Amino acid sequence: MFQITRKLDISEYSKGDRMIIAVISAGGHSLKSKIFSIKNKNEMAVLGRADIDEIKVRGNSNFLHRVGIKRAARESVRLKGLEAAVKLVFDWYIKSGIISGYGDIGAVGLKCIFKDKSGACILTKKLLDELKQSTSASRACNQLNIEVIEIIKSMFDVPVAIMFDSSFHYSIPEFRRLSGFPWNWYKKLGIKKRGYDGFSHQYMAAITRKIEKAEKMNLITIYLGESSSICAIKNKRSIDTSMVFSPSSGLLQKNAIGDIDGTALLFAMDELNLSVEEAQNEITKNAGLLATAGIRKGNFKNILSAARKGSKRAKLTVDLYIDTVRKYIGAFSTILGNIDCIVFGGEIGESSAYIREKCLENMDYMGIRLDLARNKELNNALSLISSDYSVVSKTKIYIVPVNGDMVMAYFTKKVIEKGKDLPPEEMTFRL
C-alpha cells in the first residue's frame, strides 16, 4: 500500500511564502469547496474542505467539513439559497482557523464548461458574459457556477480563474471527435466529442506516473462517482474518453442518461409531447442510475444495497453499469495497444471492492488480474491491488483517491502568476 498524505500542521506555513487558493464548484443543488496552501515550489496541502448538499429553500441541508486531513464532521444546517451557503462555508473556514479572514484568500478557482473553450482563463467581464450566454447543452452545468462567481466577486477582491473541464482532452484526435451527425452540425454547432472530468483523470494519471516513476505509460483511468467517465491516456495525453458532447453522456450518471440512441429521444419527445427544455430535464435529472434502479434519492450504495436485498431493477442497474465499464476497457485497450495500468478513482471506484472486482472479472486473457484479498483489504486507500502472478497479470491495477480540486488549485496559481490565460497544451500537472 502506498501513502502520500501526511499530517497537516497549518501553523507551519508562514504567510509570506504561500498562496492561499479557494477552489469551488457547484452542481445540481450542491456546493463543494476546498482551500489549498501552495508554497513557492508548488508544495501543496489541503487546509480544509467544506461541502453542502441539497441546498434548499426550505428544510435542512447536510454540511460536511474537515480541517486538514482530520476526520470529516457532518451536521445539519438550515439555510436559504446559494449565497447563504457560500457565506456559511467561508465563515466556517474562518471559525475553524483555516483562514483568519477573507483577506487571506489570494485567488479563487472555479470549474465551468462552454462550447470549445478550454484551458485556464482569468475571469473577465467578456468571459462572464459568454458563460451567461451558454447554450442549453452547458447552461445547466454553468448556471450555479455563474451564480457562485457573482457571489464570490461581491465577497472577495481577488482574481478569479475559470478552469474548463474539457481541457485535458484537447489531445484527442479529431477523427475521434466526430459523431456522424450532419457535417454542418459539427462545423456550425460544434457537436462533437469534448470530454469532461478532465481534472480528475489528470490527477489519477499524475499519481500513477509518480508511483511508477515513469513518464511514458498507457493508462486507463476509471472515474466512477456521481459523475462517471473513463479515459485512455497515452504518454500523459488523453487520446479518448467516454463522455462526448455533454457531461450527461458516456456511462450512466447518477441522474443523467449516458449514451443514447438519438432517435429514441426524438420518439419519446414526440410521444410525450415534450419540449426541448422538458426533454433536457428528463434526461439529466430524471434518468441515470437512480431512475433505472427505481430509487428516488441516495447514491450508488443505496442501489447496491437494494440489489442485495432482492430488487430486480437495482440488480439490472448494477449489471448494466458494470457491463458498460467493461466494454470501454475493451475498446480503450484496443486503442492503446497495451495497458500498463488501470486506475480506479471517484467515490464508487475508490470505495466499492465489488464494482472493481466485477469490472475486471475474467480478464486474464488481457493480462489483467486483481488480487481479490488486496482489493477488499485496501479499499479506499491509495494502493496497488493487482495480482503478483506476473505470468498472467501484466497490467498493474491501482486505487487512487481523487483530488481533482488540487489540479484546479495548481492551475489557478499558474494562471494568476503568469497574468494571462493558459492554453490546454500548457496545462501539465506534476506532483
Active site residue: 104, 165, 240, 405, which one? 165
The CATH class given to the 175-404 domain equals alpha beta
Cell of 208: 500513477
Contact in structure between 269 and 279 (CB atoms under 8 Å)? yes
| CB-facing half-sphere around the CA of 238: CA atoms within 13 A | 36
Distance between CA atoms of 206 and 213, rounded to whole angstroms?
10
Query: Do the domains 175-404 and 10-173 match in fold?
Result: yes
| CB-facing half-sphere around the CA of 127: CA atoms within 13 A | 22
Cβ contacts of 79 within 8 Å, gap of 6 or more:
52, 55, 56, 61, 85, 88
Distance between CA atoms of 267 and 307, rounded to whole angstroms?
31
Q: What is the pLDDT of residue 310?
A: 96
pLDDT band at 130 (very low <50, low <70, confident <90, very high): confident
Return the higher-pLDDT residue of 360 and 114: 360
Return the higher-pLDDT residue of 7 and 131: 131
φ and ψ of 47, to 5 deg = -85, -30
DSSP 226: S
116 included as an active-site residue:
no
> 168-217, pLDDT tens digit by residue?
999 999 999 998 999 999 999 889 999 999 999 999 999 999 999 998 99
CA 358 remoteness from chain centre? 22
Q: Provide the 3-class DSSP secondary structure of residue 254.
A: coil
> 301-317, pLDDT tens digit by residue?
999 999 999 999 999 99
Q: Which residue has the cell 493487482?
A: 386
- Of the candidate ranges 109-118, 318-327, 394-403, the one whose mean pLDDT is the lowest: 109-118
Name the residue ranges covered by the structural domains of the chain: 10-173, 175-404
Distance between CA atoms of 20 and 11, rounded to whole angstroms?
13
Structural element, H or E, at residue 284: helix 276-285
Share of the chain above pLDDT 70, in %: 92
Whose CA is closest to 322, among 285, 294, 289? 289
Return the higher-pLDDT residue of 62 and 344: 344
> 221-280, pLDDT tens digit by residue?
999 998 999 999 999 999 999 999 988 899 999 989 999 889 999 999 999 999 998 998
Whose CA is closest to 342, among 354, 352, 356? 356
In CATH, the architecture of 10-173 is: 2-Layer Sandwich (3.30)
Q: What is the pLDDT of residue 39?
A: 86
